[in-house]
C-alpha cells in the first residue's frame, strides 16, 4: 500500500472533522475521496499532504512514517481547485519551477519540461503566460507542474471543481488517460458521484468525518455497505421500507405473475428520460408514503401497456440489493419527482 492512514483524528475546536479514520490507499491507482460537503475529504487530503496536522493517528507514505514530516519532505505533488500559478512566468517556466529550485542541470530541466508539456498537451503553449490559457489548460499546467518533481503521490483537491461541466468532463477523461500512462499513485477529492464512478479505480466514501466504505466503483454501486452509500452513489427509491435501485424493481400488470409479497399500487406518473421510462407508483396500502419510482426501458414499458391509473404489482428483481431504511437518505437522491428532470411525456 502506498498510503496508510491509521487512526487519524482531527478537531477544529469542539468540532470533529475526522473521527479515527483508517484507510489504505493502493500504489499506482487512482483513488477518489468522495462524500458530501463538509464530510472531511479535504481535511484528510491535507493531512496526507502535511498541510494540516492531525490531533492523533499516523500517516505512512511509501513505507515511511510521514506523520511528523513537513509537506516538502513527503514527496507529494499537490493541485488545488484554484491553482495559483506564477503569473509573470511562462507556462514552461511554471512547470520548470520545482526542478530549478532543486538545482537540476539546465538540459535535464528543458527535456523534462518538454516531455511534461507533451504529456498534458500544452506543448504549443510553452511560451504563453498563465493568463493566456483557458481554465482547463491552466489545470493541466498545474498537473504538469506537480508531476515535474516526480512525486510518489499526487494529491488533487477538486482540481476541476471551478470549471464548467463540459470542460470538467473533458479533463476527467484526460486525467484517466494520463493516469493510465503515468501510473503515479493519485488521490483526488470530489463530491461528484459520477466523476468518482467514471474515473476512479477505488473510491473511499467519507461522511461526517468517518469512512463509510472503500471499494471499486462496481463494489460500491452493486454492494453498498449501508443506506448512506447506496443513496449517495446512484439513484434509489423506497419499496416496502427498503431502499432499492429503481431499475431493480419488477413491474407486473397481473397479480398472478407477482409473488405473495408484491406491493400493489397505482401508476401516478410516467416520464420519459432519454431511452428510459420512469414510472411513479403510489402504494395502495400506504398512499401517504413516498411514491415508488421504477425505471424501465421504453420498449418494455410499452409492452406492459402502462398508463396513469393502471394497477401494478411491484417486487424486487431476483438478487437485487435492498437495504432497510433506518435513517435519512441524502436529499435529492430519492427517486421521487425531481424538478430538474424533463417534464412528463406520455409513453408513445
Ligand X SMILES: Nc1ncnc2c1ncn2[C@@H]1O[C@H](COP(=O)(O)OP(=O)(O)OP(=O)(O)O)[C@@H](O)[C@H]1O
Return residues touching ligand X (CB under 6 A).
12, 15, 17, 35, 37-43, 189, 191
- C-alpha cell recorded at residue 16: 470533529
Residue 263 CB, shortest distance to ligand X, in Å, is 37
- Tell me whether residue 66 or residue 204 sits nearer to ligand X (CB atom): 204
153 touches 77 (CB < 8 A): yes
Q: Dihedral of CA 164/165/166/172: which sign?
A: positive
Alpha-carbon gap, residue 49 to 76, rounded angstroms: 7
- C-alpha cell recorded at residue 138: 491552466
- Tell me whether residue 35 or residue 151 sits nearer to ligand X (CB atom): 35
- Tell me whether residue 39 or residue 130 sits nearer to ligand X (CB atom): 39
- Tell me whether residue 229 or residue 301 sits nearer to ligand X (CB atom): 229
Residue 12 CB, shortest distance to ligand X, in Å, is 3
204 touches 211 (CB < 8 A): yes
- Tell me whether residue 126 or residue 214 sits nearer to ligand X (CB atom): 214
Residue 283 CB, shortest distance to ligand X, in Å, is 36
Residue 163 CB, shortest distance to ligand X, in Å, is 16
- C-alpha cell recorded at residue 17: 472533522
Q: What number of other Cβ atoms are within 10 A of residue 68's Cβ?
A: 10
Q: What number of other Cβ atoms are within 10 A of residue 335's Cβ?
A: 22
Q: What number of other Cβ atoms are within 10 A of residue 52's Cβ?
A: 16
E runs forming strands in the chain: 3-12, 15-25, 30-34, 56-61, 64-65, 76-79, 153-157, 185-190, 202-207, 210-215, 237-239, 242-244, 249-252, 263-273, 276-283, 292-297, 311-316, 322-324
Residue 54 CB, shortest distance to ligand X, in Å, is 12
- Tell me whether residue 136 or residue 208 sits nearer to ligand X (CB atom): 208
Residue 56 CB, shortest distance to ligand X, in Å, is 16
Residue 76 CB, shortest distance to ligand X, in Å, is 17
According to DSSP, the residues that pair with 239 across neighbouring strands are 242
Residue 41 CB, shortest distance to ligand X, in Å, is 4
DSSP for residue 83? -
- Tell me whether residue 43 or residue 213 sits nearer to ligand X (CB atom): 43
Alpha-carbon gap, residue 161 to 47, rounded angstroms: 20
Contacts of 25 (CB under 8 A, 6+ apart): 1, 2, 3, 4, 5, 31, 185, 187, 202, 204
Exposure string over 278-306, b if 16+ CB within 10 A, otherwise e: bbbbbbeeeeeebbbbbbbeeeebeebeb
- Tell me whether residue 31 or residue 237 sits nearer to ligand X (CB atom): 31
Residue 109 CB, shortest distance to ligand X, in Å, is 34
- Tell me whether residue 17 or residue 178 sits nearer to ligand X (CB atom): 17
Amino acid at each position: 500500500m502506498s498510503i496508510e492512514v491509521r487512526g487519524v483524528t482531527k478537531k477544529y475546536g469542539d468540532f470533529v472533522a475526522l473521527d479515527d479514520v483508517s484507510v489504505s490507499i493502493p500504489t499506482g491507482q487512482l483513488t477518489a475521496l468522495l462524500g458530501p460537503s463538509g464530510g472531511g475529504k479535504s481535511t484528510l487530503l491535507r493531512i496526507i499532504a502535511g498541510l494540516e496536522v492531525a490531533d492523533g493517528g499516523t500517516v505512512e507514505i511509501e513505507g515511511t512514517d510521514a506523520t511528523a514530516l513537513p509537506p516538502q519532505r513527503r514527496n507529494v505533488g499537490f493541485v488545488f481547485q484554484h491553482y495559483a500559478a506564477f503569473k509573470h512566468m511562462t507556462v514552461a517556466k511554471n512547470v520548470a519551477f520545482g526542478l530549478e529550485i532543486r538545482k537540476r542541470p539546465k538540459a535535464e530541466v528543458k527535456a523534462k519540461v518538454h516531455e511534461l508539456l507533451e504529456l498534458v498537451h500544452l506543448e504549443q503553449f510553452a511560451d504563453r503566460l498563465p493568463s493566456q490559457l483557458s481554465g482547463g489548460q491552466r489545470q493541466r499546467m498545474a498537473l504538469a507542474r506537480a508531476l515535474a518533481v516526480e512525486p510518489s503521490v499526487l494529491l488533487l483537491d477538486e482540481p476541476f471543481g471551478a470549471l464548467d461541466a463540459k470542460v470538467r468532463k473533458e479533463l476527467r477523461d484526460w486525467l484517466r488517460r494520463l493516469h493510465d500512462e503515468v501510473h503515479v499513485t493519485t488521490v483526488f477529492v470530489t463530491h461528484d458521484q459520477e466523476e468518482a464512478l467514471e474515473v476512479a479505480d477505488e473510491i473511499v466514501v467519507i461522511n461526517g468525518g468517518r469512512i463509510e466504505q472503500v471499494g471499486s466503483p462496481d463494489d460500491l454501486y452493486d454492494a453498498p455497505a449501508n443506506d448512506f452509500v447506496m443513496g449517495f452513489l446512484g439513484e434509489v427509491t423506497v419499496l416496502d421500507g427498503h431502499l432499492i435501485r429503481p431499475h431493480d424493481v419488477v413491474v407486473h400488470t397481473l397479480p398472478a405473475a407477482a409473488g405473495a409479497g408484491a406491493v400493489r399500487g397505482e401508476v401516478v406518473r410516467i416520464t420519459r428520460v432519454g431511452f428510459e421510462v420512469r414510472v411513479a407508483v403510489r402504494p395502495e396500502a400506504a398512499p401517504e408514503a413516498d411514491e415508488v419510482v421504477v425505471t424501465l426501458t421504453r420498449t418494455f414499458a410499452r409492452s406492459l401497456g402502462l398508463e396513469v391509473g393502471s394497477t401494478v404489482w411491484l417486487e424486487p428483481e431476483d438478487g437485487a440489493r435492498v437495504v432497510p431504511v433506518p435513517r435519512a437518505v441524502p436529499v435529492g437522491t430519492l427517486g421521487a419527482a425531481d424538478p430538474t428532470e424533463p417534464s412528463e411525456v406520455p409513453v408513445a
